Amino acid sequence: MSDVVNVGVIGTGAISGAYLGMAKNFPGVRMLACSDLDPMRAKAAAEKFGIPKVLDVDSLLADPEIEIVLNLTIPAAHLPLAIRTIEAGKHTYLEKPLGIDREEGRKLLDVARSRNLRVGCAPDTFMGAGIQTARKLIDDGAIGKPVAFTAFMLSRGHEHWHPSPEFYYAPGGGPMFDMGPYYLTALLQLLGPVKRLSGFASITRTERTILSQQKHGQVMKVTTPDHFSGSIEFQNGCVGSIIQSFATRAAPPMGKHPIIIYGTEGTLAVPDPNGFDGTVSLCKFGEKDEYVEVPHAFVTGYGRSVGLADMARAIRTNRPHRCSLEQAFCVLDLMQGFLDSNHSGNAYSPILPYQRTAAMNPNLPFGQLD
Ligand SMILES: NC(=O)c1ccc[n+]([C@@H]2O[C@H](COP(=O)([O-])OP(=O)(O)OC[C@H]3O[C@@H](n4cnc5c(N)ncnc54)[C@H](O)[C@@H]3O)[C@@H](O)[C@H]2O)c1
């Protein structure tokens, strides 16, 4: 069997260029076909990125050469297409969120396990040098015992730039389901399993106006919270605060290190988990408490599709993949947990145990994952 895994892409919208551009760096994946509800969009992506076939969704799912379907559609289409993909006997890798609620995630877990096929899910940003370096520092005891954290994502939302931003304000969207996956996945990778959480969620504006070009001036209804604030207690005892908001903005320099981990012996400023690299800064408590930039111990320059390439490699070498279905489910469970806690007024405890996926290997050249 060839080392190269053929991939079919469904959804060639705003994020697809980032995947298709970066995937060329991984010899283990070949983008063989693409598809979109809008065939012209699929055709344009195929021409730009040299993808040999443009197919409708049914033909792509039936193509015997394709082993992995990369699902880059909007959140409401993630689960239905993932189930069809698995029923077609193929592995699938999805953009985040895994589903629009916990129940969808549960269905996907059941179906994937019954068919013994792989499901991978974004984000893969935690595989970048930024979060990996931070994870290693914490594991090596650089800040002592982690005691507290802040994880703040404060933005104005996506209607000023995204051509079709409606899905960001419907269930499965909002700052928690859109940006929460980056923050919660990074926190799980840094601090391990969650014990319980509590949270508040609100809709600060019931309508928003699209400001990007094509749909400029159209008014959208906001049907999911656009502001969340919560607390998380990790099993290691670390307790901290998370805010995910589309209702305000973080003024610089706050945005540079949106996650801070405070330990008994030091403080770690973690770079933006929506990026792959970024600066890691460590303050060791001593006579002069000051931050020092820590050089990356891992390959820099990765972008979206490294998680897909890792899953392709994992299929061939029969090892677990890092952007695992279980990790994505745990993140979805936590995100829904904030909504549940807001509704009930009680703390929420995760329903599945979480296990960190393998750290990246620091000694490999760019593009090589094992
Ligand atoms: N845009 C970003 O910067 C960004 C970044 C990270 C992750 N994401 C995630 O990626 C996903 C896609 O986001 P986007 O910004 O590219 O959205 P988009 O609306 O620009 O593109 C989605 C594409 O999927 C197609 N599509 C939808 N349902 C389909 C179906 N059933 N069958 C075939 N095609 C279908 C649409 O026609 C569209 O071209 C979302 O889950 C989003 O959260 C987006």
How many Å lie between the centroid of ligand 1 and the Cα of residue 36? 10
Q: pLDDT at position 20, please?
A: 98
How many Å lie between the centroid of ligand 1 and the Cα of residue 96? 10
For the CA of 12, the nearest atom of ligand 1: 39
Torsion of CA 72, 73, 75, 80, to 10 degrees: -110
How many Å lie between the centroid of ligand 1 and the Cα of residue 76? 10
Q: Is ligand 1 within 6 A of the CB of residue 73?
A: yes
- List beta partners, residue 324: 120
Sign of the Cα pseudo-torsion (52, 56, 58, 59, in order): negative
Can you list the domains of the chain with their CATH numbers? 5-124+303-324 (3.40.50.720), 129-294 (3.30.360.10)
- Range 108-113, long-range pairs (CB < 8 A, 24+ positions): 108/79, 108/82, 108/83, 108/325, 108/329, 109/325, 109/326, 109/329, 111/83, 111/86, 111/87, 112/86, 112/325
Q: Is ligand 1 within 6 A of the CB of residue 130?
A: no
Q: Is ligand 1 within 6 A of the CB of residue 74?
A: yes
Q: pLDDT at position 366, please?
A: 95
Q: Give kind and range of the element (H or E) at residue 183.
A: helix 180-191
How many Å lie between the centroid of ligand 1 and the Cα of residue 35? 12
Q: Is ligand 1 within 6 A of the CB of residue 14?
A: yes
How many Å lie between the centroid of ligand 1 and the Cα of residue 308? 16
How many Å lie between the centroid of ligand 1 and the Cα of residue 114? 27
Q: pLDDT at position 256, please?
A: 72
For the CA of 122, the nearest atom of ligand 1: 7
Q: pLDDT at position 4, please?
A: 97
Q: Is ligand 1 within 6 A of the CB of residue 166?
A: no
pTM for the predicted model, two decimal places: 0.97
Q: pLDDT at position 257, please?
A: 84
Contact 184, 296 (CB under 8 A): no
Q: Is ligand 1 within 6 A of the CB of residue 178?
A: yes
Q: pLDDT at position 254, please?
A: 62
Provide the residue-wise pLDDT of the chain in tens; the chain has 370 residues.
899 999 999 999 999 999 999 999 999 999 999 999 999 999 999 999 999 999 999 999 999 999 999 999 999 999 999 999 999 999 999 999 999 999 999 999 999 999 989 999 999 999 999 999 999 999 999 999 999 999 999 999 999 999 999 999 999 999 999 999 999 999 999 999 999 999 999 999 999 999 998 899 999 999 999 999 999 999 999 999 999 999 998 876 666 789 999 999 999 999 999 999 999 999 999 978 899 999 998 999 999 999 999 999 999 999 999 999 999 999 999 999 999 999 999 999 999 999 999 999 998 999 999 8
Q: pLDDT at position 1, please?
A: 85
Q: pLDDT at position 50, please?
A: 97
